Amino acid sequence: MFRTISDIKDKLYRKLGVWPPPALSGMQLGPDGSAQNPMMLQFFTWESKHENMSWWKHFEQEIPRLAELGFTQIWLPPPNKAMKKGGQGYDAYDLWDIGEFDQKDTIATRWGTKDELLQACAVARQHGIGVVIDAVLNHKLGADRCEAFSAVPVDPTNRLKDLGKERQIQGWTVFDFPGRKGKHSSFVWTQEHFTGLDWDHQSRTNGVFRITGNGHRGWSKWVDKELGNYDYLLGVDIDHRHPRVRQDLFSWGSWILDTTGGSGFRLDAIKHMDRRFLLEFIKRSREHPDRRRLFSVAEYWSANLQLILPYVQAFQGQTAFFDVPLHENFFRASKAGSGYDLRTIFDNTLVNVRPGDAVTFVDNHELQVGQSLESWVDTNFKLQAYALILLRKDGYPCVFYGDLYPNQECYNETVSRQLQQLLIARKIFAYGPTRDYVENSNCIGFVRAGNSLYPGCAVVVSNATRSSLENLVQYIRMNVGLEHGGATYFSYLETGSQKQEVEIDVDGWGLFPCFMNEVQIFIKDVGVVVEVN
């Protein structure tokens, strides 16, 4: 069997237990030459829609403020035409239509027109902000025509188990893109370019059907083993082994980056895609001299770190991964209240084991109440969670639009106001090595030592409740450094508690108050004042 160099590397990494270099260190996360902490924002919720303008125009107008808050990259929703007029883009119809052609009863996507997108991307670049493209490469929906072909029904809970014999079905698998008329790409998709689907139009039945017949090779084996084989997720599943499919998707990757000036990709649903294809997709996207440090983050959705780590090895340092196990810890902490031991908050997380591969986050569009992966971090622990990803050294943090901007789905004004203060604190204080102080189960602290350009800070985090404390305040003894001996540190965040001062002794030690269920940042310079809109 023919093996590529990537296949050989993958096998060696797994067999020898050798780890690839950390992904984030090879990527551009912010402007060249900047010493500022990089940070990403997911600029949408599931139902995002601006009442007065397109989403792309809204993004363009917010860019100056986002730069002030310290964001260096913005993850945008999928720019492609969806299967229906109001589709978010995860119901991908045509990747090559980014609001340019009259298809699916609209020229604009849910988010706006191509011209509006390109204008917003140009303004972002002018402000030193990179744009991350959400690449939905696993499936297609909203076909233009139906066709007949052979298929086998399989067990939805075990895709390797057939439920019947091969038979002829009809499926919506022909994508002509009549509104685009071959512009950008002349490729027409038919059943030969897919592995499976969930609807037989002939018998009007749902199920999971593996497409068979001439040229079909079944499910890819280079996918996650959940449900026996997790190649199929939804819609009509793309066969990433087909030469014409591969060429079209590789071409799209270069085209979308050239067209938008994008700084990288967020790769959707990677556990369902042939990982050899994805690895080549990333590498080919970086072939252009200006894209050697292209950003890439993959969504492998599992709270089990042991399932994520083999993928980290398999991708050979070419992509970072969202730290889903850390989100799960945040979610559990928010549900358990003071019953959660904060000393374990980083246990079994990617940022703890492979910090150079971890994109940390608190919540996203799929975790909102009512969504498919609902596991929303409640307001009682939201600020604590953000402090733990924004103010520490390890990982690359991603903030959620729904926590920052007013919206009808998940907004909390107090969370938003204090989150903005945390963002500014990351931008101007949170630098240098991290020293942890974790003696107490309900109150932990850490110190950022600072560097020659930025001063550093001390941070305390509490999940204590009135019933778990005899007093409303606990204290953590932390050392801010011998060079700060004799100084006074002042509380920075505007919380429900009164302003605090901490006297540092000659050896650099101070006793920092940790108020019930709050976050607080202590800084040496009381003269720093930041207005939050």
**Neighbour-count burial of 29, counting CB atoms closer than 10 A to its CB (0-12 exposed, 13-18 middle, 19+ buried):** buried
Q: How many CB atoms lie within 10 A of CB 201?
A: 15
* Cα dihedral value 219, 265, 234, 84, nearest 10: -140
Cα Rg of the chain, angstroms? 25
> Which position among 239, 268, 323, 357 bears the catalytic label?
268
Of 323, 260, 276, 266, whose CA–CA distance to 296 is shortest?
Answer: 266
d(CA 345, CA 422): 19
Q: Are 368 and 46 in contact (CB under 8 A)?
A: yes
Q: Which two tokens stand for residue 1?
A: 């069997």
| 10: annotated active-site residue | no
Long-range CB pairs of 204-207 (<8 Å, 24+ gap) are 207/153, 207/154, 207/156, 207/163
Residue given tokens 């990747």 in the structure block: 95
SS3 334: helix
Q: How far, in Å, are 109, 298, 385 from residue 293 at the CA level?
A: 29, 16, 29
Under DSSP, the state recorded for 25 is G
Phi/psi for 49 (5° steps) reads: -165, 125
| 299: annotated active-site residue | yes
Q: Are 463 and 441 in contact (CB under 8 A)?
A: no
User: How does DSSP assign 341-358, residue by residue?
Assistant: -GGGTTTT-HHHH-GGGE
Q: How far, in Å, are 24, 67, 300, 351 from residue 356 at the CA level?
A: 5, 24, 16, 7
Q: Are 271 and 128 in contact (CB under 8 A)?
A: no
Q: How many CB atoms lie within 10 A of CB 288?
A: 12
Under DSSP, the state recorded for 262 is -
Chain centre distance of CA 244: 29
Alpha helices in 323-443 (DSSP H): 324-336, 350-353, 379-390, 401-404, 413-428
d(CA 426, CA 390): 6
> Which position among 7, 47, 198, 299 bears the catalytic label?
299
d(CA 124, CA 147): 44
Rounded to 5°, the CA angle 123-125-128 comes to 115
Of 355, 236, 350, 256, whose CA–CA distance to 299 is shortest?
Answer: 350
The residues annotated as belonging to the active site are: 268, 299
